[in-house]
Structure 1
Amino acid sequence: MLNIKRRHVLGGLALATAAPLWAQTASSAKAEGTGKGRLASKLRIVIPANAGGGWDQTGRALGAALLGSGAADEIEYENKGGKGGTVGLAYYADKYSNDPNTLLMGGMVMVGAVALHKPAVDMSRIQPIARLTSDYLVMVVAASSPIRNVGDLAGRLRANPKEVPIAGGSAGGVDHVFAGVFTRSSRSNLQELVYLPFAGGAEVVQAVLDGKAVVGISGYSEFSAQLASGKLRAIGVSSKRSVFGIPAIRAQGIDADMANWRGVFTGQGVSAARHAEMVEAMKVAITHESWQKTLKQNHWESSWLAGPGFNSFIDLDMTTSQLMVYMLKLKA
């Protein structure tokens, strides 16, 4: 069982399947498995989001890979969206906590939502299996902006944060949390951060192009077309190293990195032996060609992590999110 602990935080911290399906079968995924990593004839994946988003894409891509690698012959999907994944989390914990054949998708967005909403059912009610992907956040400015790098941005934030509005996704989401982490790491006044929340990446792009925001934060895929056309310029990425040819923010002297990661979980009541089998099945599935193709199509980075390291990683993300929710005075 995951035990969320508070700790001191230093510094700042093409969908693989065709159309959305209720179920997939091994024949549709071209099963090639030899029995290694076999889990069951039928598996279920609960996706705590509506169809079409990042968790849905990841869950269905994982399902295809599990079929392709021979872990199962059929996969059922259940979408239960709402409140950053906390509705689906509660549904899963209530209905499938002891089910050894039902998986749950989750990730950084769920961690942030738990910190914000403080639901009765939190992530202590599930067991982490593995982190699968990371979608790093890119900071962009308009092509004509005088800001050339994150050092320039940090300087402007220290001088007058109210004149540096930052556009990103929904209030309290991963973009907002990272904006707070970056501001704090820049030694600027976090209470004066001006954050403009938008429903999608297209609106973030437009806010930067129209001059309503000085900086935009989102995943690389949301900005790729405008970066290629030269309308936007990337000044940093929230990874620990350069990605997409964009220099890491940390490498530029600002102590801030964060990933919009996605992973897979099982129920609190699932045995240690079954949990170990699930980890091995995931290791096999992520080598399947369908999974590798999905990573490439969606500009996702493979970021496998399992075991105690994954538990500690979630603990730190939870502490960071709780800190930002408190310091930014965010309300559900």
Structure 2
Amino acid sequence: MANSLSTALSKAISRSITRREWLNYSSALLAGSAFAAPLAQASQAHRLGNELRIVIPANPGGGWDQTGRALGAALTSSGMVDKVVYENIGGKGGTIGLADYTKRYGSDPNSLLIGGMVMVGALALNKASAELNQVQTLARMTSDYLVVAVPADSSIRSPKDLAKAMRENLPEVAIAGGSAGGVDHMYAGMLARVSKANAEQLQYKPFPGGNEVLQSLLQKQVQVGISGYSELREALQSGKLRALGVSSRRSMFGIPSMRDQGLDAEMSNWRAVMTGKNVAPERAKQMLAAIEFASNQDSWKQSLASNSWNASWMTGKALHDFMEIETSTAQLMTYLLKLKS
């Protein structure tokens, strides 16, 4: 996977207010200085109106749903909008929601779409990556890593046990994860490949959200599950599930990395916010400015902490280049890992 890139915040917002200026204004406001008026005027300039729709191309309860609702809460609490309406459209890694969004809201200046690597992967799997051209990606907001987990009483007790089981009889190791083609699916294929198993025999069971992955594990419908930490955290902490490892380079969440335990499989997930292709450039800039402002407020920071997400802000040309790299990566991995829908 491509490494995360860092970039300066977009300066193409009205009045050219930068992140540093926002922070200066915020500090001054808390101190009761004369900067309070410019800050209030700036935030008012980027208000998005009375009502905003956030379309979440997944079922309630998963990572995209959590991200969309956290963003909506930050936008309302920061005064960027009075009310947010949420619309969940699940299925096929966000591709159903993407198609519905572009059809109904492609020109709507009061709607946003949540997306991310799962959607990029699902489109690559279906040879439909060009559909991403129907939306404008405004900002990448978060990134996180995947947890590989098993039922607490599973005979698979370590990454080496998993590799042995996959190598000896991959069809008997059913793996649950998010939608076909998404980051969980790619990671399952990567695990099979580094285990020296025949990836074409991978038994991957796609689910529309992290909650369904969790239930399939708890009900022992599958042997292994792959999902974000926030979606498995309670079951892990209660002892109902056992974590084998995390997909990061080093340990996270108190869980050793798969890489440090002998399986060199590293992969990250990310989530972004988008709007319709036909939304006017000035409105898109205003949306970006409002999202940027909201992402610097306590509400969003608390969501990052409570969900164990990493802040991963990226926009502008760096984001455009990143999206091109991720799309190409997803297409290549789908081919190399022989992923099937």
2: CA distance, partners of 1:257 / 1:263: 21
Residue-by-residue CA offset, 1:224-277 (whole Å, 9 max, x unaligned): 233223343212112344221112234445443334432101232445555444
> 1:302-313 alignment to 2 at 5 Å?
302-313=311-322
Unaligned runs of 5+ in 2: 3-35
- Show the counterpart of 1:226: 235
Q: Does the Cα contact within 8 Å between 2:48 and 2:290 map onto a contact in 1?
A: no
Residue 96 to residue 167, structure 1, CA distance change in 2 (3 Å): closer
Q: Does the Cα contact within 8 Å between 1:36 and 1:70 map onto a contact in 2?
A: no
Residue-by-residue CA offset, 1:287-314 (whole Å, 9 max, x unaligned): 2222223333434333323233333433
- Show the counterpart of 2:72: 63
Residue 67 to residue 168, structure 1, CA distance change in 2 (3 Å): closer
Q: Does the Cα contact within 8 Å between 1:35 and 1:70 map onto a contact in 2?
A: no
- Show the counterpart of 2:251: 242
Q: Does the Cα contact within 8 Å between 1:266 and 1:275 map onto a contact in 2?
A: yes
2: CA distance, partners of 1:83 / 1:143: 29
3-state SS of paired residue (2:146): strand
1: CA distance, partners of 2:207 / 2:73: 32
- Show the counterpart of 2:5: none
1: CA distance, partners of 2:106 / 2:205: 38
Q: Does the Cα contact within 8 Å between 1:115 and 1:325 map onto a contact in 2?
A: yes
* Deviates most, 59-68 or 295-304: 295-304
| TM-score computed with the length of structure 1 as normaliser | 0.74
Q: What is the deviation of 1:151?
A: 4.0
**Corresponding position: 1:330 with 2:340:** yes
3-state SS of paired residue (1:133): strand
3-state SS of paired residue (1:36): helix
* Deviates most, 36-45 or 142-151: 142-151
2: CA distance, partners of 1:304 / 1:48: 19
- Show the counterpart of 1:49: 57
Q: What is the deviation of 1:325?
A: 4.2
Q: Does the Cα contact within 8 Å between 1:84 and 1:109 map onto a contact in 2?
A: yes
2: CA distance, partners of 1:67 / 1:231: 36
3-state SS of paired residue (1:141): strand
Residue-by-residue CA offset, 1:192-227 (whole Å, 9 max, x unaligned): 2233445613333225xx4x6443222223432332
Q: Does the Cα contact within 8 Å between 1:42 and 1:101 map onto a contact in 2?
A: no
Counterpart amino acid of residue 227 in structure 1: L
3-state SS of paired residue (1:264): strand
* Deviates most, 182-191 or 168-177: 168-177
- Show the counterpart of 2:213: 201
Percent identity for Structure 1 against Structure 2: 48
2: CA distance, partners of 1:102 / 1:171: 26
**Corresponding position: 1:317 with 2:337:** no
Q: Quick check: which one's helix share is greater? A: 2
Q: Does the Cα contact within 8 Å between 1:166 and 1:195 map onto a contact in 2?
A: yes
Match of 1:34 among 20, 26, 40: 40
> 1:91-170 alignment to 2 at 5 Å?
91-119=100-128, 122-145=131-154, 147-170=156-179
Residue-by-residue CA offset, 1:39-93 (whole Å, 9 max, x unaligned): 4323523414366333333223212211222323443444444443323323333
- Show the counterpart of 2:310: 301
**Corresponding position: 1:182 with 2:182:** no
| TM-score computed with the length of structure 2 as normaliser | 0.72
2: CA distance, partners of 1:109 / 1:223: 18
2: CA distance, partners of 1:177 / 1:248: 17
- Show the counterpart of 2:292: 283
Q: What is the deviation of 1:120?
A: 9.2
1: CA distance, partners of 2:69 / 2:171: 42
1: CA distance, partners of 2:268 / 2:161: 23
Residue 169 to residue 273, structure 1, CA distance change in 2 (3 Å): closer
Q: Does the Cα contact within 8 Å between 1:43 and 1:76 map onto a contact in 2?
A: yes
Unaligned runs of 5+ in 1: 1-8, 11-31
Q: What is the deviation of 1:106?
A: 1.4
* Deviates most, 64-73 or 123-132: 64-73
Pairwise CA RMSD of aligned residues?
Answer: 3.4
Match of 1:216 among 221, 225, 231: 225
2: CA distance, partners of 1:50 / 1:79: 6
2: CA distance, partners of 1:256 / 1:272: 40
Counterpart amino acid of residue 206 in structure 1: L
